Chain A
Amino acid sequence: MALIELINLYQRYGERDILKNINLSIERGEVFALIGPTGSGKTTLLRLIDLIDRPASGKIRFDDADTDAPAAVRLDMRRRMAFVLQKPVVFNLSVYDNVACALRWRGIKGSRLKEKVNHIIDVVGMSDYRSRNARQLSGGEVQRVAIARAIALEPEVLLLDEPTANLDPLSAARIEELISSIIKSYAATIIMATHDLTQGQRLADRIGVLMNGELQQAGGARDVFASPRNREVAEFVGVENIIDGVIMSSEDKIVNIESAGRSIEAISDYAVGEAVCACIRPEDVTLALSRISSSARNSFEGEIKWLVSMGPLTRVELQCGFPLVAMVTKRSAEEMGLSKGKKVFATFKATAIHVIKRN
């Protein structure tokens, strides 16, 4: 049974719908990453889950109980969770007292409190700052105090809002390392909002893509990245080749998508006449100087418009009637003498194409 269940959830500020019809279940012990661009409603959703705000409509169930309950019941539920805000605020107290305060609110005191707080401060590597005023710390240190304050409560659910946003790369890496060690050593359910896709991929079991207040897709990280459900998700997860077309023929799920007078062969359930997008990852496109005969079903002649060297790889932008991006190794690019204006053949397999319906 799911630990957290969101049912037809809406949130509205004034006239604007911030969240629209969110349905999501989160299992106990799961690490769930909520990804989406800034302003997509991630923070609003986390605030609802943490029971700080009440939804405009819809239901939130926590551990099989309705959260639309009197304040005292909601407080008991909230005390089983901890939320690290995007821009964490520390109290104008020492690091020790910052970590201790929420434990004191729960009636923990004496040697038990001291032991617990000191242990957690060690875990987040802030032992040298124990008695320093938390307001005098750097961004990364404040974030660590905020995380310490949250995990000291041993929450069943840990909510993290953009834990590494606003941090320099080094501090961000250390915070991510800390989160990953928390995931390993505490059996908490973690819900994390991030606009950093790769971070979501690295840390989470499951990913939900939130765009314009709607949960566009939820699933395993691989699923979301390999098979985005629609064009917006595809663009957001970084699919570079999204070619608009219409299905002209279909036979045994092998379809021909016509785009700019070219026909692309792919595998799809969609019927003839359907407006679709063909998504192809740049690394799945092979380049050759002449038409090669292979099992790959798609081969188009195109002209190189732009080349960018990216470390060991070269990113090649082509025009083959439709724009296409290919990623080849730098060595291949050199051996083939790829340059701007050169004609090449771009080849990709029908199975490398992910077809999505256009809105």
Chain B
Amino acid sequence: MTELWHGLIKAIELIVTLDPEVIQVAGRSLRIAITSSLLASAICLPVASLIYFNRFRGKRFLISLIQTFYSVPTVAVGLFVFVFISRAGPLGWLGLLFSPTAIVIGQMVLVVPILLGLTISALSGVDRALIDTARSLGASRFQTALVTLREARFAVMAAVIMAFGRAISEVGISLMVGGNIRGFTRVITTAISLETSKGDIELSLALGIILISIALIINIILNRVQQR
């Protein structure tokens, strides 16, 4: 118990004194997770609109499939991306393995289903009459989609925040395709798992507190957004 107490005090010290190691790892985690969730959003918002606004065979099945992948294990995504970008894989020539880019790609794959699914349900939440109104006022298909996304903006924003939350908290992908290289691909989650196994509880706790704080901030923002 005293060890835990001692570790906690040390951890807070590391945070308060802006320990370079802690700041570097936390900053990298944030950068990678923000990049992956924003890039994934840039792809998913238009694709979700396309799925929502078009009628095609198997649409319901596709949406169910997307929802199934909400809880895909991160190690499965890690393995999948690993196979693709490893030296022998189809994208091996890009030399991406064990780089921050590899983590970004992995996290994008991870959050795409969440972003697609939640954006589609955000769009479904918009009153049908509003879409008719836009069309009756002469909006093109693209303008109609934009208006609908704008009406669903708070729900869409919630989807993006959820995606960011999933990206920053995953460990499997960062470990498998990032390699946990110090000063290069080490992020909060991989650092915690490594430092804990090495016995450096203080650093792990410090990073853990930061991660939980980020989760807390995300939740507060999410709550605010959903109340709008």
A34-70 residues at the B interface, CB under 8 angstroms:
47, 50, 52
Give chain B residues whose Cβ lies under 8 Å from the Cβ of A50: 136
Task: Using A52-B135, A78-B136, A85-B132 as known contacts, say yes or no to A101 and B141 having CB atoms under 8 A apart.
Answer: no
A interface, over-half SS: mixed
Q: Is the CB of B138 within 8 A of A105?
A: yes
* Least Cβ–Cβ distance between B53 and chain A, in angstroms: 12
List residues of chain B with CB within 8 A of the CB of A87: 129
Using A105-B139, A153-B137, A153-B138 as known contacts, say yes or no to A89 and B129 having CB atoms under 8 A apart: yes
A101-B147, A105-B143 given as contacts; is B130 within 8 A of A89 (CB)? yes
Q: A79-B138, A82-B137, A85-B129 in contact; A91/B151 too (CB < 8 A)?
A: yes
Interface string of B60-78 (1 = CB under 8 A from A): 0000000000000000000
The verdict on A149 contacting chain B, using a C-beta distance below 8 Å, is yes
A75 contacts the other chain (Cβ, under 8 Å)?
yes
Residues of B within 8 A of A78 (CB): 135-136, 138
Residues of B within 8 A of A81 (CB): 136
Total number of A residues with any Cβ neighbor in B under 8 Å: 24
The tally of residues in B whose CB lies under 8 Å from a CB in A reads 16
- Convert A96-131 into 0s and 1s, putting 1 for each residue whose CB lies closer than 8 angstroms to a CB of B: 000001100110000000000000000000000000
Closest to B228 in A: A92
Q: How far is the CB of B85 from chain A (nearest CB, A)?
A: 41
Residues of A within 8 A of B132 (CB): 47, 52, 85
Contact of A345 with B by CB under 8 A: no
Tell me if A150 counts as interface (CB < 8 A to partner B). Answer: yes
The smallest C-beta distance from A177 to any residue of chain B, in angstroms, reads 23
Choose from A47, A71, A92, A149 the contact partner of B137 (Cβ within 8 Å): A149
B135 and A88 form a contact (CB under 8 A): no
Using known A-B contacts A106-B138, A149-B137, determine if residue A91 contacts B127 with beta carbons closer than 8 Å: no
B interface list, Cβ under 8 A from A: 127, 129-130, 132-133, 135-141, 143, 147, 150-151
20 A-B pairs (CB sep. < 8 Å): A52-B132, A52-B136, A71-B141, A75-B138, A78-B135, A78-B136, A79-B138, A81-B136, A82-B138, A85-B133, A89-B127, A89-B129, A91-B151, A102-B138, A105-B138, A105-B140, A106-B138, A149-B137, A153-B137, A153-B138
